C-alpha cells in the first residue's frame, strides 16, 4: 500500500542465503539459526583462546574455507559457541593499522562491563582475496602485543587456501611461531543439520510459519548434492524467488483480500486469536482450521493445507472489524434512502464527509488502507450512545436477502472519499462487478498502488466478534478463500 510497513506479503518474502543479509532481516534472532561447527573446528578455536590467555598476547588467525562454508557465521558468533571465552565479535571495516585496530577495540571495551575479561574477537571480513601486506602484518603484530590487543583474536577469513597459508607464513616470520596450526581450516555445520537450518531461516526471516508449503520445501533438496551450506541455501533461495515471482505473475496485478466484519462490536475481540501476532490483521491458517475441525469447509481445507498457506500469502489475506462508530455515519451519508431515513429518525445526524474520513482513519481498517504501520489491533473504548443503538435497529431489519449489497456500495463510496481526502490515488471502484483482469467478483474492489484490493463484507447483528462466534467467522474466511482459489483456477 502507501507504506512499506504494510506492503503485500509476497513482496516482502525473503530467503537470505548469506549471513550478512540474514542479519539484516532477523537481527539478534540469528542466534536461533546458528549451528555449532564440528568439534574439531571448535576445539581449535578454544585452543586459540587458551593460548591467548597463556601467552599474554593477542592472536592473528587467518581462516580459510570455500565460500558459503560459514567462516563469517563462525567468527561472528564465537560468543554463542564459547560464551565463557569470548565476548561479542567486533566487525572491523576500517584500515588494518595499529591506530584503527586499537580504536575499534577501545570502543568494544567501553561498551561492555568493566569486569568482563573475555577475549574480544575482531573480524576483518572485507579483505577476502586481498591478503595483508608486510606493513599491515607489522601493524597487526604491534597491536596484538599492545596492552589493549593482548586479549584479542583477529579473525581474517579467506576463500583461497594458498593465500591464507602465505599470509600465515609471512606473519610467522615477523611474529614467531603461533600456538596453533595456521591458517585455521574452517568446517561448517554438518550436512545432517542443513535442512533444519534452511527451514528455520525460511520461517524466521519471514515471521510466518509453514512457508515451505509455498512451493519450496528444504526437505526436497539433498545436502549431499552441494559442496557447502551456502551453495545449498542459494539453490533453495533461487527457487524460492522464482516461485514467488510465478505467483505474482499469475494475475496481472497482485491481489489483496480483506474480510470486513461489520457488527455492533467495538473491539477486535476474537480476531486477535485468528490472525498473526506480528502482521497486522494477517489471517492465521492454523487458527482458522483449529476453529473449524468438524465443518465441511474446515475439512475441505484440512486436506489442502499447502494450498491454504499459498492462498493466504498470495492474497495477503486480512480480516478487520468495522464498529458502529464508523459504519453508521457512512450509512447515514451514503446509504440507501430507506436506511438513511431510518437513521435520521433515530437522531443520527449527517456530520459530513470530513467526519466520516476522520472516523475511518481512526479504525483498524482505515489504518490498513493507508498502510500505517501497526503490530496489532487497537481497542475502541466505550460504545457510542448514538451509533450502537442505531446499528442494533438496522440489524433488526436484517442484512440478508440482498439488503447488504446496498450497504456495501455505501461503504465503497465512503472509502473512495476517504482515500481522496488522504491524497491516495485509487481507481476502478467497483461493487458486485467482475474485475477487469480476473474473473473475481468481490463485494467491492478498487486498484491502489498497482494492487487490486478486494473487500468482502459480512454484516452481523449484536456483539459478533466474541469467542462464541470464532468458528463462524473462521468458516466465513475459509469460504472466501475457497471461492478465490476456485476463481483463480487453483481448484475446480
Cβ atoms of 155 and 186 closer than 8 Å: no
* pLDDT one-digit tens code per residue, 323-370: 999 999 999 999 999 899 999 999 899 989 999 999 999 999 999 999
Question: Average per-residue pLDDT in the chain?
Answer: 87
Task: Find all residues with CB under 8 Å of 242, minimum gap 6, and list them.
Answer: none
Poorest-confidence range of 204-208, 219-223, 447-451, 465-469? 204-208
pLDDT at 51 over 60: yes
Phi, psi of 13 (to 5 degrees): -60, 135
pLDDT at residue 200, rounded to an integer: 80
pLDDT at residue 438, rounded to an integer: 81
pLDDT at residue 163, rounded to an integer: 93
DSSP sequence for 410-468: HHHHHHHHHHHHTT--EEEEEES---SSSS---SEEEEETTEEEEEEEEE--SS-SSGG
Higher-pLDDT residue of 399 and 360 is 360
* pLDDT one-digit tens code per residue, 180-238: 889 988 888 888 888 888 888 777 777 666 665 566 788 888 999 998 888 888 898 88
pLDDT at residue 201, rounded to an integer: 79
Average pLDDT over residues 128-138: 90
Percent of the chain whose pLDDT exceeds 90: 53
pLDDT at residue 385, rounded to an integer: 74
Higher-pLDDT residue of 453 and 229 is 453
Higher-pLDDT residue of 453 and 210 is 453
Sheet hosting strand 444-448, strand order edge to edge: 318-322, 255-262, 451-459, 444-448, 426-431
pLDDT at residue 4, rounded to an integer: 46
Closest by CA to 136, choosing from 83, 97, 176, is 97
pLDDT at residue 3, rounded to an integer: 46
Average pLDDT over residues 88-106: 93
Give the whole-angstrom CA distance, residue 126 versus residue 128: 6
Question: What is the widest separation between alpha-carbon atoms in the chain?
Answer: 97
The domains located in the chain, with CATH, are 4-15+191-249 (no CATH), 36-185 (3.40.50.300), 255-487 (no CATH)
Classified as helix, coil or strand, 121 is: strand
- Burial of 432 from C-beta contacts in 10 A (0-12 / 13-18 / 19+): middle
- Burial of 115 from C-beta contacts in 10 A (0-12 / 13-18 / 19+): exposed
Phi, psi of 158 (to 5 degrees): -150, 140
Average pLDDT over residues 126-137: 89
pLDDT at residue 180, rounded to an integer: 85
Percent of the chain whose pLDDT exceeds 70: 89
Higher-pLDDT residue of 207 and 307 is 307
Confidence of residue 249 (pLDDT cuts 50, 70, 90): low
pLDDT at 404 over 50: yes
Cβ atoms of 244 and 236 closer than 8 Å: no
Distances (CA, A) of 426 to 5, 211, 330, 361, 451: 19, 31, 19, 16, 10
Average pLDDT over residues 285-298: 95
Burial 118-127 (b: 16+ CB within 10 A, else e): bbbbbbbbeb
Poorest-confidence range of 22-26, 140-144, 344-348, 465-469? 22-26
Question: Which three cell numbers mark 491?
Answer: 481448484
pLDDT at residue 241, rounded to an integer: 81
Higher-pLDDT residue of 33 and 256 is 256
pLDDT at residue 33, rounded to an integer: 59
- Burial of 23 from C-beta contacts in 10 A (0-12 / 13-18 / 19+): middle
Give the whole-angstrom CA distance, residue 42 versus residue 37: 6
DSSP sequence for 168-236: HHHHHHHH---SS-SSEEP--S-GGGHHHHHHHHHHHHHT-TTGGGGS--GGGS-GGG-SSHHHHHHHH
Give the whole-angstrom CA distance, residue 205 versus residue 161: 32
Give the whole-angstrom CA distance, residue 180 versus residue 202: 37
Higher-pLDDT residue of 483 and 219 is 483
pLDDT at residue 5, rounded to an integer: 47
Confidence of residue 239 (pLDDT cuts 50, 70, 90): confident
Name the region of 70 (left: φ>0; alpha: ψ -120 to 50; beta: rest): left
Closest by CA to 214, choosing from 253, 254, 243, is 243
Amino acid at each position: 500500500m502507501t507504506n512499506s510497513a504494510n506492503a503485500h506479503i509476497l513482496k516482502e518474502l525473503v530467503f537470505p542465503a548469506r549471513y550478512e543479509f540474514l542479519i539484516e532481516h532477523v537481527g539478534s534472532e540469528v542466534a536461533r539459526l546458528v549451528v555449532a561447527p564440528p568439534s574439531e573446528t571448535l576445539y581449535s578455536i578454544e585452543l586459540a583462546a587458551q593460548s591467548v590467555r597463556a601467552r599474554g598476547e593477542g592472536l592473528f588467525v587467518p581462516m580459510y574455507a570455500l565460500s558459503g562454508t560459514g567462516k563469517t557465521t563462525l567468527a561472528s558468533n564465537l560468543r554463542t559457541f564459547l560464551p565463557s571465552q569470548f565476548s561479542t565479535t567486533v566487525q572491523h571495516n576500517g584500515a588494518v593499522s595499529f591506530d584503527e585496530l586499537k580504536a575499534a577495540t577501545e570502543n568494544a571495551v567501553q561498551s561492555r562491563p568493566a569486569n568482563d575479561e573475555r577475549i574480544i574477537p575482531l573480524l576483518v571480513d572485507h579483505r577476502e582475496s586481498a591478503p595483508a601486506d608486510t606493513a599491515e602484518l607489522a601493524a597487526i603484530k604491534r597491536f596484538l602485543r599492545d596492552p589493549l590487543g593482548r586479549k584479542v583474536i583477529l579473525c581474517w577469513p579467506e576463500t583461497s587456501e594458498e593465500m591464507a597459508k602465505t599470509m600465515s607464513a609471512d606473519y610467522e616470520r615477523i611474529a614467531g611461531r603461533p600456538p596453533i596450526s595456521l591458517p585455521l581450516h574452517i568446517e561448517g555445520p554438518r550436512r545432517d543439520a542443513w535442512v533444519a537450518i534452511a527451514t528455520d531461516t525460511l520461517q524466521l526471516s519471514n515471521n510466518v510459519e509453514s512457508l515451505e508449503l509455498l512451493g519450496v520445501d528444504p526437505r526436497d533438496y539433498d545436502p549431499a548434492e552441494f559442496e557447502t551450506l551456502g551453495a545449498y541455501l542459494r539453490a533453495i533461495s533461487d527457487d524460492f524467488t522464482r516461485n514467488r515471482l510465478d505467483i505474482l505473475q499469475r494475475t496481472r496485478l497482485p491481489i489483496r483480500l480483506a474480510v470486513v466484519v461489520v457488527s455492533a462490536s467495538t473491539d477486535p475481540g476474537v480476531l486477535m486469536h485468528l490472525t498473526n501476532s506480528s502482521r497486522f490483521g494477517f489471517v492465521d491458517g492454523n487458527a482458522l482450521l483449529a476453529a473449524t475441525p468438524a465443518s465441511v469447509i474446515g475439512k475441505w481445507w484440512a486436506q489442502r493445507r499447502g494450498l491454504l498457506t499459498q492462498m493466504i500469502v498470495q492474497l495477503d489475506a486480512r480480516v478487520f472489524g468495522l464498529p458502529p462508530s464508523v459504519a453508521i455515519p457512512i450509512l447515514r451519508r451514503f446509504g440507501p434512502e430507506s436506511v438513511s431515513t431510518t437513521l435520521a429518525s433515530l437522531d443520527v445526524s449527517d456530520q459530513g464527509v470530513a467526519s466520516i474520513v476522520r472516523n475511518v482513519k481512526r479504525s483498524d481498517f482505515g489504518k490498513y488502507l493507508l498502510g500505517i504501520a501497526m503490530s496489532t489491533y487497537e481497542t475502541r473504548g466505550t460504545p457510542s450512545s448514538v451509533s450502537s443503538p442505531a446499528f442494533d435497529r438496522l440489524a433488526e431489519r436484517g442484512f440478508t436477502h440482498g439488503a447488504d449489497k446496498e450497504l456495501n456500495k455505501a461503504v465503497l463510496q465512503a472509502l473512495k472519499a476517504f482515500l481522496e481526502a488522504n491524497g491516495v490515488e485509487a481507481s476502478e471502484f467497483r461493487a458486485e462487478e467482475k474485475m477487469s483482469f480476473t474473473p473475481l467478483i468481490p463485494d467491492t474492489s478498487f486498484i491502489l498502488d498497482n494492487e487490486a484490493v478486494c473487500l468482502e463484507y459480512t454484516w452481523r447483528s449484536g456483539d459478533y466478534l466474541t469467542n462464541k462466534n470464532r468458528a463462524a467467522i473462521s468458516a466465513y474466511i475459509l469460504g472466501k478463500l475457497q471461492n478465490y482459489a476456485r476463481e483463480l483456477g487453483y481448484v475446480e
